[in-house]
Amino acid sequence: MEKRDDGEYELAFENVSFRYPGSAQYVLKNVSCRLDMKRKMAVVGRNGAGKTTFIKLLCGLYEPTEGRITLNGVDIRKYKPEEYRDLFGVVFQDFRLFSFPVWENVTAGYERDDGRLWKALRQAGAKELVKQMPEGPETLLYKDTGEGVEISGGEAQKLGIARALYKDAALIILDEPTAALDPLAEAEVYARFDEMTEGKTSIYISHRMSSCRFCDDIMVFDDGRIAERGSHESLLAAKGLYSQLWNAQAKYYA
Ligand code: ADP
């Protein structure tokens, strides 16, 4: 696979349909789209619309049942899986940390480089957290295998983000944590997202409408299809599904 320092990759879905193995029901239906690099994208839609599944296919964790996904015009099945996956730094909602030292949780099998480690921790907003741990990055997490430290959901999220950033991948994907963070920690994640993703392509899977405003290219999923796509302003003006969902949620937050 061609490694590019300029991050200029072209990813596209071509008529992709998908059923989970053993299931008769299509979760994605004839999805076609191109992902423009160096942009802040968001994927929104109701629960179960297919957002997370779309991302899992994009990352190569599942293969399309029909259609294909291409990178620079070539079917992603033709690339070596480990090389293809190196393109993505992802934090899914159900990410896991392990009862290992902090540094191992962040480097996750890649070679340790302390400069890179602290940079990732700083960008993820976890530098102070790790600095004040008893043994800094050598500190064991959790108490399952020894005398480790317990951390909150928000702190775990930051370390999960640091792990994604440590890879220094071209695309950063963040599945919005809906439960783990309190509103303040959540606001901090949005504020940092800009800094974290500078010069990279980012995709934010948004489970709340209020949180995709800061993205410049929003894809609205509905029942396994991309129903609409555009900027926040253009989608509101179109008065379609996005504006319906936006107005419905705005009522709760007004
Ligand atoms: P969203 O992220 O928009 O909430 P998902 O992509 O998680 O939606 O889910 C889309 C549909 O796929 C849902 O109907 C969900 O129940 C189904 N689904 C998700 N994961 C699996 C799985 N591992 N096996 C079978 N069905 C699944």
Q: Hey, whose CA ends up nearest to atom 16 of ligand 1? A: 48
pLDDT tens, per residue, the chain with 254 residues: 666 666 678 899 999 999 999 999 999 999 999 998 878 899 999 989 999 999 999 999 999 999 999 999 999 999 999 899 999 999 988 899 999 999 999 999 999 999 999 999 998 889 999 999 999 999 999 988 778 999 988 899 899 999 999 998 989 998 886 665 667 777 777 777 777 787 788 899 987 787 777 788 999 999 999 999 999 999 999 999 999 999 887 665 54
How far, in Å, from the CA of 221 to the mean position of ligand 1? 13
CB atoms within 10 A of CB 8: 11
Is residue 132 within 6 Å of ligand 1 at its C-beta? no
Per-residue burial over 146-166, b if 16 or more Cβ lie within 10 Å, else e, is: eebeebeebbbbbbbbbbbbb
Asked if residue 16 lies in contact with residue 31, where contact means CB atoms within 8 angstroms, the answer is yes
Per-residue burial over 96-112, b if 16 or more Cβ lie within 10 Å, else e, is: ebeebbbbbbbbeeeee
> What phi, psi does 12 have (nearest 5°)?
-145, 145
CA 223 to chain CA centroid, nearest Å: 20
How far, in Å, from the CA of 85 to the mean position of ligand 1? 21
Quote the radius of gyration of the chain (alpha carbons, Å): 19
How far, in Å, from the CA of 112 to the mean position of ligand 1? 35
Distance, in Å, from the CA atom of 148 to the CA atom of 251, rounded to the nearest integer, reads: 44
Q: Phi-psi region for residue 17, left (φ > 0), alpha (ψ -120 to 50) or beta?
A: beta
Return the closest-CA partner of residue 60 out of 92, 26, 34, 83. 83
Whole-model pTM: value is 0.89
**Among positive and negative, which fits the CA dihedral 90, 96, 98, 101?**
positive
Distance, in Å, from the CA atom of 226 to the CA atom of 43, rounded to the nearest integer, reads: 9
Is residue 224 within 6 Å of ligand 1 at its C-beta? no
